[in-house]
Amino acid sequence: MNFPGHDIYYYLKKENRPIIIYGMGNGADKVINELERRNIRIAGVCASDDFVRGQSFRGFKVRRISEVSCGGGDEIILTAFGSSLPEVTERIFALSERCTVLAPDVPVYGDNIWCSEFLEENYRDIEKAAAIFADDQSRKVFEHIIAYKLTGSLDELKAAFTDKSEVFDSIIPLGEDESYLDLGAYRGDTIDELLDRTGGRYSYITALEPDRRTFAKLKEHTRGMKNIRLFRMGIWSEDMDMCFTQGRGRGSSVSSDGESLAVTKIDTLYAVRRLTYLKMDVEGAEKQAIIGGINTLRRDRPKLNIAAYHRSEDIFYLPLLISDIVPEYRLYLRQHPYIPAWDLNLYGSL
């Protein structure tokens, strides 16, 4: 595998042009914190024109992106928010054609940052993971996404994009008799995805969602459905109580403080019932969830749909973990359109 010789931080340190952060909020905080840790100074913050109301962020008055991008390449713009909306991603790609735009990769959870040192430290596992994938497209996605994570290059990211319909058409086609476990069910959007693909038919659905408000919406959304059980709880490698952040919607996650909530194992949920399709998007707890489902994975070998972007190491660690548990799995990696590389998913079938 050939990866760039230097990372985004190497190039930013050598730049003399002003560096502008595009975005506000948690993502921008993480990007700025990493730049400050590496003694890379930023010159300002901007946001989409409709969001600018004279506010300040990290000591900078927020400028409109239209004011920044009219300079004809005099500044470097670093995107620091996430979106899969076509009108937003297309606008960013269009912006990159007239300005230098990079999208730094900072993890949703965990402290590991993709950089040259991280690549070197994990290169053996990265090579092993690349050899596991079942098709050339997965290996292409793997290399492009790692190159993107190292450099922030939008060209590398875009080169990895594939449409999600291909997944359900050819990688994990869903039948009318699925026993489905939805971990991180949110408001029921991935239940809808199943129903859409199977004409509303299924055998049984189990759905977990830890956030209180989101769980209430999940209950309302699935009202009247048969053969479904909903749990307001988290998933882990053991049955226990843990603290969860609340009120962050899709971002509800294990925390050092917050509301105490029960977590359980896949093996507990499916001690008796058979599992045919497993979807997992659990805010950085994917490793623990897989470990807590080893017996079920080996016994039932369900179709897999697992988020592989929350932690920097997920892209190579999760394929290695699953392959170690069930070597017979054919594993696929797909990046669906999103800036940054969120909606990177690991799929598995036999």
Percent of the chain past pLDDT 70, that is, above it, reads: 96
For residues 101-119, give the mean pLDDT.
Answer: 97
Can you give the pLDDT at residue 259?
Answer: 87
For residues 265-271, give the mean pLDDT.
Answer: 98
For residues 292-300, give the mean pLDDT.
Answer: 98
For residues 22-50, give the mean pLDDT.
Answer: 97
Can you give the pLDDT at residue 69?
Answer: 74
Predicted confidence band of residue 136 (pLDDT cuts 50, 70, 90): very high
Can you give the pLDDT at residue 4?
Answer: 86
For residues 111-136, give the mean pLDDT.
Answer: 97
User: What angle is formed at CA 327 by the lines to CA 321 and CA 328, rounded to 5 degrees?
Assistant: 135
- Name residues whose C-beta falls within 8 Å of residue 50's C-beta, 6 or more positions apart in sequence: none
Can you give the pLDDT at residue 218?
Answer: 98
**Tokens of residue 1, six digits:** 């595998």
Report all structural domains of the chain as residue ranges with CATH numbers, in order of start.
8-159 (3.40.50.720), 172-307 (3.40.50.150)
CA separation for the pair 56, 234 (Å, rounded): 36
SS3 state of residue 232: coil
CA separation for the pair 77, 100 (Å, rounded): 6
Res. 3: pLDDT tops 90: no
For residues 66-76, give the mean pLDDT.
Answer: 79
CA separation for the pair 326, 270 (Å, rounded): 17
Nearest CA to 187 among 205, 171, 209?
209
Least confident of 75-89, 247-261, 326-340: 247-261
CA separation for the pair 333, 350 (Å, rounded): 15
The pLDDT tens digits for 214-247 are 999 999 999 999 999 999 999 999 999 999 877 6
Average pLDDT of the chain, as a whole number: 95
Res. 252: pLDDT tops 80: no
Distances (CA, A) of 43 to 18, 26, 46, 61, 62: 5, 19, 10, 11, 11
Res. 70: pLDDT tops 80: no
Res. 250: pLDDT tops 70: no
For residues 243-269, give the mean pLDDT.
Answer: 79
Q: Do residues 47 and 24 lie in contact, with contact meaning Cβ atoms separated by under 8 Å?
A: yes
Can you give the pLDDT at residue 71?
Answer: 60
Least confident of 135-139, 250-254, 308-312: 250-254
pTM for this one? Answer: 0.95
Res. 253: pLDDT tops 80: no
For residues 8-20, give the mean pLDDT.
Answer: 96
Can you give the pLDDT at residue 15?
Answer: 94
Res. 73: pLDDT tops 70: no
Predicted confidence band of residue 248 (pLDDT cuts 50, 70, 90): low
Can you give the pLDDT at residue 251?
Answer: 56
CA separation for the pair 79, 24 (Å, rounded): 10
32: left (phi over 0), alpha (psi -120 to 50) or beta: alpha
